[in-house]
Amino acid sequence: MFSKENFPSNSFLSKRILTEIWIYPIKSLGGVRKSSARVMQKGLQYDRRWMLVDEQNIFLTQRAIPQLALFKLEESESGFTIRYQHDTIFLPAKEEPQGNPMAAQIWDDVVTVHEVSRTHSEWFSARLGFICRLVAFPELQPRPVDPDFAIRDEQVSLADGYPLLIIGESSLHDLNQRLAVSVPMDRFRPNLVFSGGEAYEEDQWKNFSVGVNQFAGVKPCSRCVLTTVNQQSGEKGTEPLATLAGYRKKNARLPDGQGKVYFGQNVLAIDHKEIYEGDEINLL
């Protein structure tokens, strides 16, 4: 499934266009679609620069709390309006957090973060029904990408492990043909979505450009139960993970990753300029 010989000989000749750009300012909350975005070292600007942590300062996600999907964000010039049902609160994008620095855990990493404000933390705590805090990850605070896959000692935001994720529309179409009920792309929370090309060809991408920016595909993305959370209702099911597990486990590039389910490609940015919906993608 993952070898290049499985693709038709003309698959790398069809035109590929960037059709969607997404950021997820607060990790595991709703995404914001953009017509253009600035590429930064840690990923797209404002992507996963904030997250919720519990009383032990451990990060929170939809894996354990699918209700987080119900928090939706809208962007304005100065920040983001966070909406939960009929309630809203504003998150300034460029103001410095008010709180003192603290250590927080995200997977195996310990990062230095700052509480945004007591007001924000109390707002989230009241709606989730337990004590949590909203914290910000300053741009200059380090969090290195896994050195086994880094190219130039890249850094990453509060994303799971890599600055960007790209998925082809053809890959989702192929998956949906196998499902009884189709799922939208938001189940997979990509940053970049493209048209053209063959299903799953992004698994093999190494060096490519989007507009004037060069990127490097470094590692297919392993998927988890978050993909089973309906991003509109917050309900968790079994699909599409159950179907993906039937045909998307093997990965020749990751011999130690047998048994994991893959969908999409993790990406590092080589250049740090603006990208736009409609940009052409070229494999280098």
Q: If you search the block for the tokens 């998150």, which residue do you land on?
A: 91
pLDDT at position 228 is 98
Checking if the pLDDT of 212 tops 80, the result is yes
Mean pLDDT of 249-264: 70
Contacts of 176-183 with C-beta under 8 Å, sequence gap 24+, read 178/243, 178/247, 179/239, 179/240, 179/243, 180/239, 181/239, 183/227, 183/239, 183/240
Query: Does the pLDDT of residue 254 top 80, yes or no?
Result: no
- Domain spanning 4-283: CATH superfamily: PK beta-barrel domain-like (2.40.33.20)
| Rounded distance between C-alpha atoms, residue 37 and residue 22, angstroms | 9
Q: CA–CA separation, 96 vs 212, rounded Å?
A: 31
Question: Looking at residue 2, what is its pLDDT?
Answer: 38
The pLDDT value recorded for residue 99 is 76
The tokens for 254 are: 């990751």
pLDDT of residue 257: 52
pLDDT at 251: 53
Q: Is 15 left (phi over 0), alpha (psi -120 to 50) or beta?
A: beta
pLDDT above 70 for 255:
no
The reported pLDDT for the residue numbered 98 is: 73
Q: Which of 73-82, 106-115, 138-147, 258-267 has the lowest mean pLDDT?
A: 258-267
Report the 10 Å Cβ neighbour count for 180.
7
Q: Helical H runs in the chain?
A: 118-128, 169-178, 241-245
Reported confidence tier of residue 8, pLDDT bands at 50, 70, 90: very low
pLDDT, the chain, mean? 93
Residue pLDDT, tens place only, 133-167 = 999 999 999 999 999 999 999 999 999 999 999 99
Closest CA to 134 of 153, 119, 144: 119
Mean pLDDT value across residues 118-143: 97
- Higher pLDDT, residue 273 or 14: 273
Q: What pLDDT is stored for residue 10 in this prediction?
A: 44
* Domain ranges (residues) in the chain: 4-283
Residue 259: what pLDDT? 75
Question: pLDDT tens digit string along 43-67?
Answer: 999 999 999 999 999 999 999 999 9
